[in-house]
Amino acid sequence: MWSWKRLLSISLCFACLMVMSPLALATDVEENQFVTYYADGSYSVTKITYDKQEDGISAQAGASEIRGTKQRDHYSNSDKLLWTLYVHGTFTCDGRTSKATVADYSYTIYDPDWSFVSGSASYSGSTARATGKFSWYGITSSASVSLTCSANGVLS
């Protein structure tokens, strides 16, 4: 009887681990997101993704080329996704220094009441930046997002 209880305990522990594993993965994904709340109840969620590097692309000797995207999703106070502003950056890093080499921006409008007015992208040092202006019934809202690469190739 003692070994039956032990087997049941081990089985329950294993079942708990199987159930908890997806939750732990979801938590890790959420750690890459940052939320900013605004006075009107709207909010933005900012997250970073690393872009897959294509074969045949090389950086300077002894350096790595890192590509990534940082996006700012803007939500209404009723949790409706309105628009997203993206900055796309390419960086060269060698473990001691990092340098931005390319910056670009893009956007997506999800709510037809919003429109894109203008945008720009720039880079300096180890940071790529994008700014965008969005309009809702004549009211303009500005947004910016920046992506920085460390000397070790970590995006923030």
Q: Are residues 16 and 48 in the same domain?
A: no
Q: Are residues 141 and 101 in the same domain?
A: yes
Q: Bridge partners of 60?
A: none
Q: Are residues 65 and 127 in the same domain?
A: yes
For the chain, what is the domain count?
2
Residue 129's CATH number? 2.60.40
Q: Is the pTM of this model over 0.75?
A: no
Q: Are residues 19 and 89 in the same domain?
A: no
Measured distance CA(100)–CA(28) in Å, rounded: 27
Task: Report if residue 14 sits inside a domain.
Answer: yes
Q: Are residues 54 and 67 in the same domain?
A: yes
Q: Are residues 4 and 47 in the same domain?
A: no
Tens of pLDDT, residue by residue over 17-52, are: 333 333 222 223 345 788 999 999 999 999 988 876
Domain of residue 112 covers: 33-148
CA dist 147 → 8, 11, 53, 85, 134 (Å): 50, 46, 17, 12, 20
Asked if 46 and 34 count as a contact pair (C-beta separation under 8 A), the reply is yes
pLDDT of residue 53: 60
Task: Report if residue 156 sits inside a domain.
Answer: no
Residue by residue, DSSP assigns the chain as -HHHHHHHHHHHHHHHHHHHHHHHHHHHHHTTEEEEE-TTS-EEEEEEEEPPPPTT---STT-EEEEEEEEEEEE-TTS-EEEEEEEEEEEEE-SS-EEEEEEEEEEEE-STTEEEEEEEEEEETTEEEEEEEEEETTEEEEEEEEEEB-TTS-B-
Tens of pLDDT, residue by residue over 67-90, are: 999 999 999 999 999 999 999 999
Task: Report if residue 128 sits inside a domain.
Answer: yes
